[in-house]
Amino acid sequence: MEGQPEIVQQLWSWVEPGWQVAQDWLTSPAAWSQFALLVAAFVLARIVSQRLTPIAERLLTPPEGRSGMIVTARLFVRRFLPLMLPLLAWVFTAMGEEITRSIFGSGAVIAFGKRVFLFLAARLFVRAVLTDPFLRVLGRYVLIPVSFVYAVGLLDDLTLRLEETIIALGNIKFSLMALIRGLIAGSLLFWLGAWSNRQSADYIKAQQELRPATRELAIKAAEVMIFGAAFLLLMSIMGIDLTAVAVLGGALGVGIGLGLQQIAANFVSGIILLLEGQTTVGDYVELDGGEKGTIVKMTARACVLETFDGKWIVVPNEHFITTRVVNYSDQGSANRYEAEFSVSYDTDINKVPEIIETAVAALPFVLKTPDGPDCELRGFGDSAVNFAVEYWVNGIDDGKNRFGSPVLFAIWNALKEHGIEMPYPQRVVHHRHETPPEPPKPRRRRAEA
């Protein structure tokens, strides 16, 4: 290779050892016997897997309609059945390796075959077993390349080279291998943390005996603990001294003091809201700023309000602590509303309360407790007698429920049924007719003589 470009010589220096090994294997009877053993192990593994796979399918497939932890575990194990062939080939090859080493004193080809079977198992694991998109990307670009490098026998050399490459960031020093290991471990840890957080949140939300505020607080506490533990474990995996993290924490504290006051205030306000429980998910609230709606989500930074027309309003938690908040209570409690109406002065107003209370009480959503409908005389207007009926409903008339419209229809129909008039505004105009005085007639001039 003399006289060739430097890059070609460098590539040949990497390829030459493998070429020498291949030549040795092709000319060695021991190597040929090991190749034959690999083929025999693969054929045997294929026969065994074809016989065992249907049996395993029947054992691991649960009856239709069943559910529970055992069913979930059986379905989880069944997903790994595609790996049976390469793993059985690896097992049979490992068993034959001992025989080959005892006879020929060498097992390089067998060891290479075992690594190849593991590489095939890794490819099948990524393609047939993994279903999560993030894990499939991680397997495609991390697991498969690493298993290939391991199969060709270069993993130890590559790892050593990466360990010797040092990166320094101020007082923090770590190797390139530690950085790669940290990226991979961090991706897995935080994916596992997100999955654990979802599982714990679903479990906590299912505990209906806890108050909504308590459930939200428990979910946030579990989230902080899970991701805090993942961060500390990642620092340990990367080999970073935790004293350096303390310095970073001090800098972060200065940053909070200088520019992140609002974020910190919202975070603390969110914890206070969850601890007090006076405002929680499901409550219909109205703030001083005019925002109103049902709280559908409470995060560490803000609360999300859903208006009756489907819009979401994100309100910082601090507003719930520093401003006046009207809480109409959760949608499962009773609330009182009223509807106003008027009748003519010609009406016998003593009959009106009974007629209206009966009509409103007949509506299916009107409650009898804590009190039934109550019709009250409110005053005497210019052209009508003013009444109002008060009624209780289970929920909030926030635009979704619309209790007011059926009540007004019931009032109208009841009054019409009993011949009671709801008058228009009336005005009495007095017109005084007087004959205007006749204007003075102009005097005629005497004719000149």
- Three-class SS state of 299: coil
Sheet of strand 374-380, all strands in order from the earlier edge strand to the far edge: 334-343, 385-394, 374-380
pLDDT number for residue 347:
92
Q: Residues 6 or more apart from 318 whose CB is under 8 A from it?
A: 262, 265, 266, 269
Poorest-pLDDT segment among 140-144, 217-221, 349-353, 372-376? 217-221
pLDDT tens, position by position, 239-273: 666 665 666 666 666 665 666 677 777 878 877 87
Distance between CA atoms of residues 346 and 319, nearest Å: 53
Distance between CA atoms of residues 403 and 150, nearest Å: 71
Please report which confidence band the pLDDT of residue 184 belongs to, taking 50, 70 and 90 as the band edges.
confident
pLDDT number for residue 358:
94
Q: What is the mean pLDDT of residues 383-389?
A: 93
- Three-class SS state of 210: coil
Residues 360 and 415 sit within 8 Å (Cβ to Cβ)? no
The more confidently predicted of residues 30 and 94 is: 94
Residues 408 and 379 sit within 8 Å (Cβ to Cβ)? no
- Three-class SS state of 314: strand
Quick check: 29 pLDDT over 80?
Answer: no
Side chain identity, residue 279: T
Residue 173 sits at φ, ψ, to 5 deg, of: -130, 135
pLDDT tens, position by position, 339-371: 999 999 989 999 999 999 999 999 999 998 888
The structure tokens listed for 292 are: 């109103």
pLDDT number for residue 252:
64
Quick check: 335 pLDDT over 70?
Answer: yes
The structure tokens listed for 109 are: 């080809």
The more confidently predicted of residues 412 and 166 is: 412
Distance between CA atoms of residues 67 and 238, nearest Å: 41
Per the document, the length of the chain is 449
Q: Are strands 385-394 and 325-330 parallel, antiparallel or unpaired?
A: unpaired
Q: What is the mean pLDDT of residues 89-116?
A: 74
CATH 3.30.70.100 corresponds to the domain 334-417 = yes
What Å distances lie between residue 201 and 193, 195, 278, CA to CA?
A: 12, 10, 21
pLDDT tens, position by position, 120-172: 888 888 888 888 888 888 888 888 888 888 888 778 888 888 888 877 766 66
Poorest-pLDDT segment among 193-197, 406-410, 412-416? 193-197
pLDDT number for residue 449:
41
Distance between CA atoms of residues 415 and 349, nearest Å: 12
Q: For 255-259, which contacts have Cβ atoms below 8 Å and span 24 or more sequence positions?
A: none
pLDDT number for residue 5:
61
- Three-class SS state of 155: helix
- Three-class SS state of 79: coil
pLDDT number for residue 362:
94
pLDDT number for residue 205:
77
- Three-class SS state of 148: helix
Residue 225, class by beta-carbon neighbours within 10 Å (0-12 exposed, 13-18 middle, 19+ buried)? middle
- pTM value surpassing 0.85: no
Residues 138 and 187 sit within 8 Å (Cβ to Cβ)? yes
Residues 284 and 332 sit within 8 Å (Cβ to Cβ)? no
Pick the CATH number of 266-330 from 1.10.1060.10, 2.30.30.60, 3.40.190.10, 3.40.50.300: 2.30.30.60
Q: Residues 6 or more apart from 394 whose CB is under 8 A from it?
A: 332, 333, 334, 365, 367
Residues 61 and 109 sit within 8 Å (Cβ to Cβ)? no
Residues 438 and 384 sit within 8 Å (Cβ to Cβ)? no
Side chain identity, residue 240: I
Q: Where are the domains of the chain?
A: 6-153, 177-241, 266-330, 334-417
Average pLDDT, the chain: 79
In SS3 terms, 394-436 reads as ECCCCCCCCCHHHHHHHHHHHHHHCCCCCCCCCCCCCCCCCCC
